[in-house]
Amino acid sequence: MKPQIAVVGSINMDLVFKTPRMPLPGETLMGHSFHQVHGGKGANQAVAAARMGADVHFVACVGDDVNGKSCLQALAQDGIRLDHIRAIANTATGVAGILLDDAGQNCIVLTTGANALLNESDIAGASNTIAQAKLLLCQLETPLDTVAQAINSAKQADVKVVLNPAPAQALSDQILAQVDYLVLNETEAAELSGVAVTNVESAAVAAAKLQQRGASVVLLTLGALGMWVAASDSSYFLPAFKVEVVDTTAAGDTFVGSFAVAIAEGQDLRAACMLAQSAAALAVTKFGAQTSIPLRDAVERQLHNT
């Protein structure tokens, strides 16, 4: 049986410009190429979860434009259930402008579009689906009040919650106390803990502060270095897989979606983190957001060959 996962989040069309480097203020820089790729943190994580073998129910909003139709078609191809995705008339689907340089690093400018209109009625309409899920997965590219209601709905039904607090913003202790697994990077950890995360030692301090604020388990990803895992009974560092980086877009989303599936399957914390790290490592070896997210077989092969 596939584990059922409910995802509440964003859907974007990514407009990707490949450049030799990041432009300076006021500079016009000749790029290598341009691509349109389906993205959005919610959609990316939903796709990652689906490709890892979950039965994914997605709660989201799109506009009634060409981008929205294209994004929905792509989600359907991955077997994601679209019953709770609302298409809004006279509204644009979210768009992300992404600059990707030759080193594989990116900068992103986001316009939320229909994502900003995901509301509490959407969550209420999906409450039974959330209650029946093994796990709820959320991010912060949709309104915080909506995310908070989704988390509250899950906790009332005793459903585990994974929160990826990205983009970084302030969160109350009340929300953090309802989160079973808080998955975040250095920037997000600094925003929520007040600790600048620059290495493993500072990651451990930041994670401990986030646990003091209420989060049960904190997974702090450190890019190519690896990750710090802080649970109630143990804390430890896991090094990253060594791969050739092509594009870091959606690496974090791939990690989060894959981790959620492993936890929903009943894997222990360390095994779930290793599986997610393997998936994220494969994602950075390919271009784009959803185009880079690997299938379960490839993730398992890399994991077992290390």
- What positions carry a catalytic annotation? 253
Is 40 annotated to bind a ligand? Reply is yes
Is 180 annotated to bind a ligand? Reply is no
Give the closest residue to 264 by CA, choosing from 48, 42, 19: 48
Instruction: Outline where the chain has alpha helix (H).
Output: 41-51, 66-77, 120-125, 127-132, 144-156, 173-176, 186-193, 200-212, 251-264, 269-283, 296-304
Is 247 annotated to bind a ligand? Reply is yes
Residue 128 neighbours by CB distance under 10 Å:
11
β-strand partners of 96? 14, 110
Instruction: Please list, in sequence order, all residues whose beta carbon lies within 8 angstroms of the beta carbon of residue 221, skipping any fewer than 6 positions away.
Output: 183, 184, 185, 186, 227, 252, 255, 280
Using the structure block, give the residue that is written with the tokens 């092969």.
Answer: 301
- At residue 225, what is the residue type? L
- Is residue 71 within 8 A of residue 38, CB to CB? The reply is yes
Is 63 annotated to bind a ligand? Reply is no
Is 286 annotated to bind a ligand? Reply is yes
Q: For the residues of 212-279, what is the DSSP string, one character each?
A: HTT-SEEEEE-GGGEEEEE-SS-EEEEEPP----S--TTHHHHHHHHHHHHHHTT--HHHHHHHHHHH
Is 43 annotated to bind a ligand? Reply is yes
User: What SS3 class is residue 7?
Assistant: strand
Is 6 annotated to bind a ligand? Reply is no
Is 214 annotated to bind a ligand? Reply is no
- At residue 302, what is the residue type? Q
Is 252 annotated to bind a ligand? Reply is yes
Sign of CA dihedral 130, 218, 109, 243: negative
Is 14 annotated to bind a ligand? Reply is yes
Is 78 annotated to bind a ligand? Reply is no
Is 41 annotated to bind a ligand? Reply is yes
CA distance 239 to 280: 13
Is 13 annotated to bind a ligand? Reply is yes
Is 102 annotated to bind a ligand? Reply is no
Is 185 annotated to bind a ligand? Reply is yes
* Binding site, annotated residues for K(+): 247, 249, 283, 286, 288, 292
Q: Which residues are annotated as a binding site for substrate?
A: 12-14, 40-44, 141, 253
Binding residues for ATP are: 185, 221-226, 252-253
Q: Which residues are annotated as a binding site?
A: 12-14, 40-44, 141, 185, 221-226, 247, 249, 252-253, 283, 286, 288, 292
